[in-house]
Copies of this chain bind each other. A is one copy, B any other.
Amino acid sequence: MAVYTDLSDEELAGLLAQYDLGQAVAFKGIAEGVENSNFLLETEAGRFILTIFEKRVERRDLPFFMTVMETLAEKGVPAPRPMRNRNGALFSEVRGKACTIITFLTGVSPKRPNVAQCRAVGAKLAEMHLGLRGLTQARPNALSVDAWPGLVEPRLELADKLRPGLAADVKADLAALAKAWPQGLPDGVIHADLFPDNTLFLGDEAKGLIDFYFACTDALAYDLAVCLNAWCFEPRGAFNLTKGQALIAGYESVRPLSGEERATLPVLARGAAMRFFATRLADWAETPAGALVRPKDPLEYADKLGFHRSAKSVADYGG
């Protein structure tokens, strides 16, 4: 929730001169995203979000992210459409940083999604997967099973400090995941981070999927597993089976899961929980005590790992 790069009105005018969007009529920093600087930008041509890329997002990945968004917008899946500048490029430069101007989508992010919203996001996730079939660009998932030990193992002591006994549990999880991680599932471009705050709703209708800066190529069912973690747990850590049923049914209303996808959903869900546990643990370790911005709690995902450890089949998730 910060704006790292603020632009002067002259810098903004210089940037807009590279586009066919007219003059700025409104420009406000948005307290959104921890990775980039985002601005509400209204021009004579409409409303947009200007994103200036800060750390973490690699410049070489930008064409992939932008092409994903543009492809979805063209297929009618509600993702922001990146504007092309006068050179036809999907991103530009400002203050020596890469930036992009994407369409502003209406809608409000649900803080505590209801069952109908879980169903709706499941359907949109499947629409996204189908809409991106045939995309020739690819980007490996840098935060998959091979990356987790490197993030977690150097911080096992911290894990045990956060909750005594946790180090042994997650070591066992890592071993189990390395052994059981499925190969050869149907794959394609996945969002990989479709949390409620990366969606926009009007009532129960999903109006927007946003923040594609973790998108990558991986098993499609893994994306559903991320959503089961992000959408279907209650604040105190219990899995809500009704929400799980709705999410999976919504997904399958557009793209039915294969037998192998159903069979591997528990290990995929456990892996998805490990992915977020791992990065949250690393962020926690790197944040100085007393910092203004408190990192997200790794224990939320330690709790979810506990649920997945005991899950036996897709039925435990409502599938």
Contact = CB atoms under 8 A, between A and B. Distances in A.
A10 B111 CA distance: 8
Interface in A23-40: 23-32, 40
Interface stretch (A1-9, A126-134, A265-273): A1-9
For this chain, the copies found in one complex come to 2
Contacts of A3: 1, 31
B2 A31 contact: yes
A46 to B, nearest CB: 13
A9 B293 contact: no
Interface stretch (A102-110, A154-162, A240-248): A102-110
Contacts of A29: 1, 30-32
A182 to B, nearest CB: 36
B8 A112 contact: yes
B2 A108 contact: no
Contacts of A1: 2-3, 29, 31
Given A2-B1, A3-B1, A27 B108 contact: yes
Contacts of A175: none
A287 to B, nearest CB: 11
Given A1-B29, A42-B106, A292-B291, A23 B111 contact: no
A149 B262 CA distance: 73
A25 B2 CA distance: 23
Given A111-B9, A292-B292, A30 B27 contact: no
Contact of A9 (B10, B31, B109): B109
A50 to B, nearest CB: 12
Nearest to A30: B28
A202 interface: yes
Interface in A257-289: none
A28 to B, nearest CB: 5
A30 B2 CA distance: 9
A49 to B, nearest CB: 9
Interface of A: 1-3, 8-10, 12, 23-32, 40, 42, 104, 106-112, 200-203, 291-293
28 contacts: A1-B2, A1-B31, A2-B2, A3-B31, A9-B108, A9-B109, A9-B201, A12-B108, A23-B203, A24-B108, A25-B106, A25-B108, A25-B202, A26-B104, A26-B107, A26-B108, A27-B108, A27-B109, A28-B30, A28-B31, A29-B30, A29-B31, A30-B31, A30-B40, A31-B31, A42-B106, A291-B292, A292-B292
Given A1-B31, A42-B106, 13 more contacts: A1-B2, A1-B29, A9-B109, A9-B110, A12-B108, A23-B203, A25-B106, A26-B108, A26-B200, A27-B109, A28-B31, A28-B32, A291-B292
